[in-house]
Amino acid sequence: MKNKITIAVAIALMAGLTGCGQSSNSSETSNPKKIEQQINNTVLAKWTGPYSGVPAFDTVKLADLKPAFEIAMAKKLAEVDAIVSNSEPATFENTIVALERSGADLNRIYTYYGIWRSNKSTAETRAVAGELAPVLSTFYSKINQNKALFNRIKDVFLSDEMNTLRKDQQRMVTEQYQGFVRSGALLNEQDQKRYAEINLELSELHTQFGNNVLADEENYVTYLTKEQLGGLPESVISAAASAASSMGKSGQYAITNTRSSMDPFLTYSTERALREQVWNTYYSRGDNGDEFDNNKIIAEILKLRHERVQLLGYDNYGQWRLENRMAKNPDNAFKLMNAVWPAAIARVEQEVADMQAVANEEGADIKIAPWDYRFYAEKVRKAKYDLDSDEVKQYLQLDNLRDAMFYVAGELFDFKFTAITDNSVPVFDPDVTVWEVTKLSNNEHVGVWYLDPYARKGKRSGAWATTYRSHTSYDGKTNVLASNNSNFIKGEAGKPTLISWSDAETLFHEFGHALHFLASNVEYPSQNGGVRDYTEFQSQLLERWLTTDPVIDNYLVHNKTGKPIPADLVAKIKKAATFNEGFKTTEYLASAIIDLKLHTMDPTGIDIDKFELETLAEMNMPKEMVMRHRTPHFGHVFSGEGYSAGYYGYMWAEVLTSDAAEAFEQAPGGYYDKGMAKKLVDHLFSVRNAVDPAEAYRAFRGRDAKVEALMRDRGFPIPKK
């Protein structure tokens, strides 16, 4: 009987797929064999096992992905239809909460889709992603432009019931209403059709952009011989040998086309011609004039985004994007960046002068070029602060740093991390480790944390955090499945993986995102999101605990001797805290400013390379360096819309970070002050997007953040008002 019911449901769901851009006919939907295949779909299956169920990474099949999406989309549309068909007047419960409950299957499917696209990408995966992009776009347009659904949401938004709801519920209704309006719900039929067409085109272009960047990262590897290893420390050589071996090039040394591999090579290699080659390879991703070139794709993306927001009545994409962010409008974002930019490039000028002096003294007979910046900055660091980055690296063992993060999580969040070693939780790669998270005080289960730390073929570059399941309590409390992902070059077998100080900061940063997920105490799923120029704040703040005494004293030990990092070396690290700040701030700000400029102009007929070159020249961009993310590989902005016109948000969040850090520094217990920790969790982490970010910060700090804290942090002069 159970199987018959399941088959009947499958037939009903599959019959509704036509609206999702999929063909449907009676012969297919009545085919018992095809129905049985859908019932046994590994991607669609509910999660089983411990911890309220976990993703079946060990048995899931890529071939099941597209069929799973088809069934889940049909089910979501049926759930939406049930909401709009309700004869009762629209209420918070029967409309807003009902919409929150819909699409549970899709949430699970996206977990697998994210892993296949980001952690284990293959040509087959990219082909499937290309097929899915237009299908998913059409599906979401169908929901966002459902007039009957929007009218019910509007009825709740305008109802007397709104006055009886809690603040978090009012915020959710308001954001649902505004989200539909911003997605074209008020447009006429012709404009809605065009809006959906644009979304469809953009989905395909975003996917193509990301695939092109990944192709250039995979296709370009610089292989070295022993004779070309000049200047490279043992840790870099070991990692390069390991990388080459994994690529079938034993006996050689591979510098892969990722930041984690490129950065240390440019820092230490004495082979200037090779530095230039590696630099060009990395910064030319997506800009090689071949089949993977992204310039025309970017121009088309900008044109379509501009047209779409004009349909909604905005002058430019930036206005639309920032309307519901903390910055509120592009002018405020530009104001912040323009306040910092002069001090940043002035510091670069000083840094370059120091580097040129070293080069001249050595008789190098060169003028500092972008591929020289890291190399000579390291020499200046040694000369000015007697600080050797590779010496510091010997104390930065990945496993120890992970344990340091666990310590911080225990002190601030009452979290305990226990390794799960019984293979009860499947993983998608042998290098992934899994940890149960519980409360230290009462052993209450919180969730599960996955760590995927190493670079591999098919894994996108960079570092990121994500959730496989978020906390909610509206239908019973759910536990959290969170993950952190990095691209460290794995050390040789039996040896620890050593990382740079910058990478250690990034590790703490991304763990901050994971703690944000794990600390969530919101009731409704949609409020686990956040305002982009605010959500980076919590993770940036966690970086500060890397330099606290308990972490330094207990977790930074030499990888060979086991001795703690010497006090004098720690003093040098802290003294050099603002060293090279000009470079770091300028490379970031250049990307953020270019991003916002691109999205506040009419992009008709734009030549991307020319725009980038001319705009940076107008900004007096130092010639000795480039943007952190050049436009042709700016995945934050062009492989999707998460950070588009919003890369400035990292700096907006850093104002909050610097200001909040000063609050901890002024507390009696410093960074481990229990009262401050409680305020941190209660007001900045647990509420996620259930509270307006500005209100949340004022509840924590007692006032708004001040930009002066950021300038002090970076050692920049505070601009006069």
* Residue 544 covered by a domain: no
Domain final residue, candidates 164, 182, 200:
182
Residue 25 has pLDDT above 90, yes or no: no
Query: pTM (2 decimals)?
Result: 0.86
Asked whether residue 111 falls in the same domain as residue 238, the answer is: no
| Model confidence band, residue 721 (pLDDT cutoffs 50, 70, 90) | low
Residue 420 Cα distances to 246, 417, 433, angstroms: 27, 9, 8
Cα 623 to Cα 609: distance, rounded to the nearest angstrom: 16
CB-neighbour burial class of residue 166 (10 A; exposed 0-12, middle 13-18, buried 19+): exposed
Residue ranges of E strands in 113-193: none
pLDDT in tens, 582-612: 999 999 999 999 999 999 999 999 999 999 9
* Residue 465 covered by a domain: no
Q: Which amino acid is at 549?
A: D
Asked whether residue 95 falls in the same domain as residue 35, the answer is: yes
Residues 6+ apart with CB under 8 A from 383: 358
Continuous H helices in 543-666: 549-555, 567-575, 581-598, 608-618, 635-638, 649-666
**Collapsing DSSP states into helix, strand and coil, what is residue 4?**
helix
CA-closest candidate to residue 66, choices 114, 120, 142, 129: 129
Asked whether residue 110 falls in the same domain as residue 245, the answer is: no
Q: Using only C-alpha atoms, what is the Rg of the chain?
A: 26
Asked whether residue 43 falls in the same domain as residue 109, the answer is: yes
What is the rounded (10 degree) CA torsion for 75, 77, 81, 82? 30
CA-closest candidate to residue 520, choices 672, 681, 325: 681
Q: What is the pLDDT of residue 339?
A: 93
Mean pLDDT of the chain: 93
Give me the number of domains the chain comprises. Answer: 2
Task: Supply 632's token pair.
Answer: 């042709």
To the nearest whole percent, how much of the chain has pLDDT over 90?
Answer: 89
Asked whether residue 47 falls in the same domain as residue 152, the answer is: yes
Cα 99 to Cα 218: distance, rounded to the nearest angstrom: 41
**Collapsing DSSP states into helix, strand and coil, what is residue 49?**
coil
Cα 280 to Cα 21: distance, rounded to the nearest angstrom: 42
To the nearest whole percent, how much of the chain has pLDDT over 70?
Answer: 94
* Residue 577 covered by a domain: no
Q: What is the pLDDT of residue 1?
A: 36
pLDDT in tens, 88-133: 999 999 999 999 999 999 999 999 999 999 999 999 999 999 999 9
Asked whether residue 79 falls in the same domain as residue 7, the answer is: yes
Residue 189 has pLDDT above 60, yes or no: yes
| Model confidence band, residue 272 (pLDDT cutoffs 50, 70, 90) | very high
Asked whether residue 177 falls in the same domain as residue 252, the answer is: no
Q: What is the pLDDT of residue 11?
A: 29
The number of C-alpha atoms within 13 Å of 21 and in the hemisphere containing its C-beta is 20
Residues in the chain: 721
pLDDT in tens, 360-407: 999 999 999 999 999 999 999 999 999 999 999 999 999 999 999 999
* Residue 647 covered by a domain: no
Q: Which amino acid is at 683?
A: H
Residues 6+ apart with CB under 8 A from 680: 412, 700
Crossing angle between the packed helical segments 259-268 and 373-385, to the nearest 10 degrees: 60
* Residue 158 covered by a domain: yes
CB-neighbour burial class of residue 462 (10 A; exposed 0-12, middle 13-18, buried 19+): middle
Cα 223 to Cα 251: distance, rounded to the nearest angstrom: 10
Asked whether residue 14 falls in the same domain as residue 88, the answer is: yes
Asked whether residue 29 falls in the same domain as residue 152, the answer is: yes
Q: What is the pLDDT of residue 283?
A: 97
Instruction: Decide: 563 and 557 in contact? Cβ < 8 Å.
Output: yes
Asked whether residue 231 falls in the same domain as residue 98, the answer is: no
Q: What is the pLDDT of residue 52?
A: 97
Domain final residue, candidates 127, 157, 182:
182
Q: What is the pLDDT of residue 21?
A: 33
E strand or H helix that includes residue 222: strand 221-224
Residue 557 has pLDDT above 60, yes or no: yes
| Model confidence band, residue 5 (pLDDT cutoffs 50, 70, 90) | very low
pLDDT in tens, 641-681: 989 999 999 999 999 999 999 999 999 999 999 999 999 99
CB-neighbour burial class of residue 517 (10 A; exposed 0-12, middle 13-18, buried 19+): buried
Neighbouring-strand partners of residue 223 = 254
Find the domain containing 230 and state its range.
Answer: 220-283
Cα 61 to Cα 64: distance, rounded to the nearest angstrom: 6
Cα 500 to Cα 485: distance, rounded to the nearest angstrom: 16
The number of C-alpha atoms within 13 Å of 169 and in the hemisphere containing its C-beta is 14
Cα 721 to Cα 30: distance, rounded to the nearest angstrom: 73
Q: What is the pLDDT of residue 532?
A: 85
Instruction: Decide: 615 and 595 in contact? Cβ < 8 Å.
Output: no
H/E/C letters for each residue in 372-417? HHHHHHHHHHHHHHCCCHHHHHCCCEHHHHHHHHHHHHHHHHCEEE
Task: Supply 355's token pair.
Answer: 């580097």
Residues 6+ apart with CB under 8 A from 334: 593, 596
Asked whether residue 57 falls in the same domain as residue 110, the answer is: yes
Average confidence (pLDDT) over 230-258: 94
Residue 719 has pLDDT above 50, yes or no: yes
Cα 299 to Cα 607: distance, rounded to the nearest angstrom: 7
Would you put residue 438 in left (φ > 0), alpha (ψ -120 to 50) or beta?
beta
Task: Supply 324's token pair.
Answer: 């519901």
Q: What is the pLDDT of residue 508?
A: 98
Q: Which amino acid is at 558?
A: H
* Residue 98 covered by a domain: yes
DSSP 475-527: TB---EEEEEEEEEPPPPTTSPPB--HHHHHHHHHHHHHHHHHHT---SSGGG
Cα 23 to Cα 18: distance, rounded to the nearest angstrom: 5
* Residue 683 covered by a domain: no
* Residue 226 covered by a domain: yes
Domain final residue, candidates 262, 283, 304:
283
Residue labelled with tokens 């050689």: 252
Residue 330 has pLDDT above 50, yes or no: yes
Kindly report the CATH number assigned to the domain that includes residue 52: 1.10.1370.40
Q: What is the pLDDT of residue 31?
A: 57
Asked whether residue 22 falls in the same domain as residue 166, the answer is: yes
